[in-house]
Amino acid sequence: MSFIKPAKVFLSISGALVAISLVLLVTPGPKLSIDFTGGTMMELGIPSDATRDTVANALETFENDPPLGNTTLSATKDSSVLIRMRDLSNEEHLALVDHFTATIGKVSERQFTTIGPTVGSTLKKRSMWALAIAAFAIILYVAFAFRKIPRKLSPWRFGVIAVVTLLHDVIITVGVFVVISQYTSFEFDTLFITALLTILGYSVNDTIVIFDRIRDNLLNQSNRSDSFEDVAEKSLQQSITRSLNTSISTLIMLCSLFIFGSESIRWFVLTLIVGAVIGTYSSLFIATPLLVLWKKKS
């Protein structure tokens, strides 16, 4: 199987997926958690005879000054509801719990998180900086590691292509979860940013292994007449078994954790699963073909 010849097909598919993901980032856009927007999130265990509408009616009858404002409700699988609203003081929090107990029966508070809008804005900026600094550091590292690449092939190209591939993985992963957030309770939070950073490390590792094989083959090739495309194709063929074995073993572990792990980390693990699949695909079908196309045009 050739990885370079069908490159235009895979690049077209990836380009379309990236474009769709960018559109999804604008509309409908990511559903941000209170980590980034500020506010309060409560998770309440409710009586078996209570429903989401019952909780919504209780919220409407809660008298407070100032009012709670816009609230969002989402039901979970384990007889509980998630409530998002403006940030509450401790007195308002206690009064709201007492109100729920009086109107719908005994409730159990499973989670209460409140974050001010200033903290949320700061977290958003720091998350973007973390992603940007990680990408820049990867370019510098790869350029340094491949500084002795032969045939006058700039080491900076390896670093730039590695980061372009990473952006491809991150953008498509974010697009997938924008769609998921429209139909589930998933929200973009700091744990999701942590998962994206993990994906960056995993994906670039796979890409660099293939790039390193290209470098070794360029240094040790016996037939100097081989084109760079031939060397790249040979390197991919030599690396595919290792890449697939690593990815499959990683996915087995992640799927097990997704099925049997805690509910609190399920979205985090699902992000890693999606990122691992996309990262393996991009390492084999995007990174090296882009490097070959760039070399042809130079």
Is 20's pLDDT higher than 90?
Answer: yes
Is 26's pLDDT higher than 70?
Answer: yes
- In this prediction, residue 257 carries a pLDDT of 93
Structure tokens at 202: 């995993």
- In this prediction, residue 264 carries a pLDDT of 77
Measured torsion, CA atoms of residues 80, 112, 82, 31, in degrees rounded to the nearest 10: -150
Distance from chain centroid for Cα 141: 22
Distances in whole angstroms, Cα of residue 270 to Cα of each of 5, 43, 48, 114, 186: 32, 22, 29, 25, 11
- In this prediction, residue 175 carries a pLDDT of 96
pLDDT per residue as tens digits for the range 174-212: 999 999 998 887 889 888 988 988 888 888 888 888 888
pTM, two decimals, is 0.82
Q: Percentage of the chain surpassing pLDDT 70? A: 94
**Number of helices and strands (H, E) in the chain?**
10, 4
DSSP secondary structure, 202-227, as one string: HHHHHHHHHHHHHHHHHHH-S-TT--
The answer to whether the bond into 47 is cis (omega within 30° of 0) is no
Distances in whole angstroms, Cα of residue 89 to Cα of each of 70, 96, 168: 16, 11, 42
Domains, the chain, ordered by start: 7-28+119-297 (1.20.1640.10), 39-115 (3.30.70.3400)
CB 105 within 8 A of CB 144: no
